[in-house]
Chain A
Amino acid sequence: MLWVDKYRPHTLDKVMVHVQEAQHLKNLIAQGDCPHLLFYGPSGAGKKTLIMALLREMYGIGAEKVKVENKPWKVEAGNRKLEIDLTTVSSNYHVEFSPSDAGFQDRYVVQEIIKEMAKSRPLDVSGTKGFKVLVLNEVDKLSREAQHSLRRTMEKYSSACRLILCCNSASKVIEAIRSRCLNIRISAPTKEEIVAVMQHVAKKENLQLPMGLAGRIALLSNRNLRAALLSFEACYVQQYPFSENQAVQATDWEQYVTEIANDIVTEQSPKRLFQVRGKLYELLSNCIPPEIILKRLLVELMRKLDSELKREVCHWAAYYEHRMQLGQKAIFHLEAFVAKFMSIYKRFLIATFG
């Protein structure tokens, strides 16, 4: 089992980073009821861990007995009948899924599953009716229509189920939904917190983790706890006992992007652009999301740039990323950015060195 999963805190009392938030959540459900919740924050900050711990706190150990189901949902949309395949993770008390998996039909999925859940309420030991919890991941990727229909559904079925929404950027969730939920911001753990968690894991595994190494892993992780733990484990597999100045491997796609950035800066020509395109395709076909490639590429390029160029480059990065969201094929926009960068950089070189 990976350390990330092995040492994931299971109860609200055991969390190490968002202690305050956990305590507040405990207060929240102490009275037995909870409002709809919206968790937002960067990835690897611990949103999911908190949600699972919260469910466990509410329903006891039963909430952790989950089964994964992939079944087609029959949905009537107007006068058409649709069949949508969807994978859900559910226990007796909650159902979890990513509605955005259903693509443009996400609207029907949300309504249908919530209706289904509302029909079968969980039976409580004391015989009173409770509510089920529906965990929706990636709500920020839901279409506008789906979000609007979610808003109605939230009100209609609020006696039978509670929604826990989870997303990265709260900007993409419509105001109407945000105002109906209790918003909980989960910030990324600080470097010190990450180091503390890694030391905790090391102690449990009976390892000696030098502070210098821990610090570097935490720094490279960009305040992403999951990434930090994964690369910590990778370091362990590579070499143990640890040495203070052991190399921390970045993930291979990150190295690849660094390579691309080097290529772009060393030569600006149509031929090089062609080569870069090949490499970008390689990344895309390995399922690295295009906006993450672009962001990383920008950060890498920024490192090598003169400060007067930075503003211009970052403007165009924002511009092409926006275009990418509107368009269909990501590669066009990635390549356009690379081409733009090359032209800016070349112009700069000619102006300075002649």
Chain B
Amino acid sequence: MMAMAPMQQSSQQWVEKYRPKQVKDVAYQDEVVRTLTNTLETGNLPHLLFYGPPGTGKTSTALALAHQLFGPVLYKARVLELNASDDRGINVVRTKIKDFAAIAVGNSNAAGDYPCPPFKIIILDEADSMTEDAQNALRRTMETYSKVTRFCFICNYVSRIIEPLASRCAKYRFKPLNEEIMTTRIKFVCQEEGIQLNSEALSTLSKVSGGDLRRAITCLQSAARLYGSSISSDNIISVSGVVPDEILDSLLVACKSGQFDKAQGVVTNIIAEGHPASQILSQLFDIVVKASDITDEQKARILERIAETDKALIDGADEFLQLLDVSSNTLGAFCNLARETSAF
């Protein structure tokens, strides 16, 4: 029998491995870093609300901040981390969070070089997925224990945090990373891990990840695992699940030709190749919005159906039928045919 090699945790996720350890290492978010570094010196911290798209360093900043404030010794006692996958219903807010918030902390038992200010931090990651009830239950808790506890909310959509909570916090927006900073980071990781990445693959990688550094690094790691240490642009595309441009081109060409059977053939092929319909939709969206040879009216017509289809896919509708519907509508828009539903 073939012996299974022992499992070591050598296969650590690179995302964890290269997570910034200090607030000042967080890339590209200059304003945030500046304010927070200040905080670190004075030890005076308001409630925080970090928001911005995924992979921009929100969680990293929060964790690094907590680590720098308390150091490894006190970290466990002073910091509570909860994210969306933990149970965070109203009961947890009433019991776990409240209990933790209520614990008094000793004053200035500074350990080593860490400032150790006299309060605890509760980090609520992915706070936008908390129910409104749970958020409401937090309002009072935040105020009552504000002497000994600071909250740090992290979310993608600030509009999903109820106003009373948001107004109690200092808000920090994290912006998507630009291409330059992205390539610097990726190059750094490649160097550390001994990976050959040519410039074409590099630009594909930063294009595919769209400002999300976590996604870029995960992609890189998967590619490295599958294809070894020399990675080409095609490898990146196949790992990231992005649909190659040629396929979308062929779909658009078929739609522009005005022949329904041709479009149906392309759709059948796409589904047989196993490309996820949701991915096709989002890439089609990008192309249509940016295209210069499509009139605004046509764009509106195409995008409207893409939006409806996206909803239908989330409801669990069949990919083939939905994609066919999008294509036939796109075809209609390109050739300025009457809408399918116009007769009713």
Contacts and interface: CB of A to CB of B under 8 A. Distances in A.
Given A61-B1, A185-B241, A347-B343, A24 B227 contact: yes
A171 B3 contact: no
B297 to A, nearest CB: 18
A171 B278 contact: yes
B274 A27 contact: no
A125 interface: yes
Interface in A123-152: 124-126, 128-131, 148-149, 151-152
B4 A124 contact: yes
B260 interface: yes
B5 A45 contact: no
Interface in B235-263: 238-239, 241, 259-261
A154 B204 CA distance: 29
Interface residues of B, number: 58
Contacts of B340: 311-312, 315-316
B274 A186 contact: yes
A275 B77 CA distance: 72
Nearest to B268: A222
A325 B241 contact: no
A241 interface: no
B201 interface: no
B316 interface: yes
A322 interface: yes
Contact of A311 (B84, B218, B227, B332): B332
Contacts of B337: 311
A27 B226 contact: yes
A337 B175 CA distance: 47
A125 B5 CA distance: 10
B126 to A, nearest CB: 9
Given A35-B225, A62-B1, A310-B328, A185 B275 contact: yes
B276 A170 contact: yes
Contacts of A130: 4, 6-7
Given A155-B85, A315-B341, A322-B312, A59 B272 contact: no
A125 B2 CA distance: 9
Contacts of A347: 343
B322 interface: yes
Choose among B5, B274, B329, B337 the residue with the greatest number of A CB atoms under 10 Å from its CB.
B274
Contact of B313 (A62, A125, A149, A171): A171
Interface string A6-41: 000000000000000000100110011101000011
B328 A314 contact: yes
Interface in A290-319: 291, 294-295, 298, 302, 307, 310-312, 314-319
A169 B277 contact: yes
Interface in A165-193: 169-172, 178-179, 182-183, 185-188
A129 B343 contact: no
Contacts of A302: 264
A27 B278 CA distance: 30
Given A169-B277, A311-B337, A28 B226 contact: yes
A318 B324 contact: yes
Nearest to A181: B222
Contact of A179 (B215, B238, B318): B215
B343 to A, nearest CB: 7
Interface string B310-340: 0011011111111011001101100001001
Contacts of B313: 171-172
Given A155-B85, A182-B222, A185-B274, A315 B239 contact: no
A84 interface: no
A57 B4 CA distance: 9
B277 A171 contact: yes
B10 interface: yes
A124 B84 CA distance: 36
A38 to B, nearest CB: 9
A58 interface: yes
A155 B318 CA distance: 30
Choose among A28, A58, A171, A172 the residue with the greatest number of B CB atoms under 10 Å from its CB.
A171
A140 to B, nearest CB: 8
Contacts of B239: 182-183
A212 B317 CA distance: 37
B292 interface: no
Nearest to B2: A60
Contacts of A325: 315-318
Interface in B1-46: 1-11
Contacts of B320: 295
B155 to A, nearest CB: 15
B321 A42 contact: no
7 A-B pairs with the lowest CB-CB distances in the bound complex, closest first: A32-B5, A152-B85, A41-B274, A128-B6, A318-B325, A170-B276, A171-B278
30 contacts: A28-B226, A31-B11, A33-B7, A35-B222, A40-B274, A40-B276, A41-B274, A124-B4, A126-B3, A126-B6, A130-B4, A131-B7, A148-B85, A169-B277, A169-B319, A171-B279, A183-B239, A185-B275, A187-B273, A188-B274, A294-B321, A295-B318, A298-B321, A311-B331, A312-B343, A314-B328, A315-B341, A317-B324, A318-B322, A322-B312
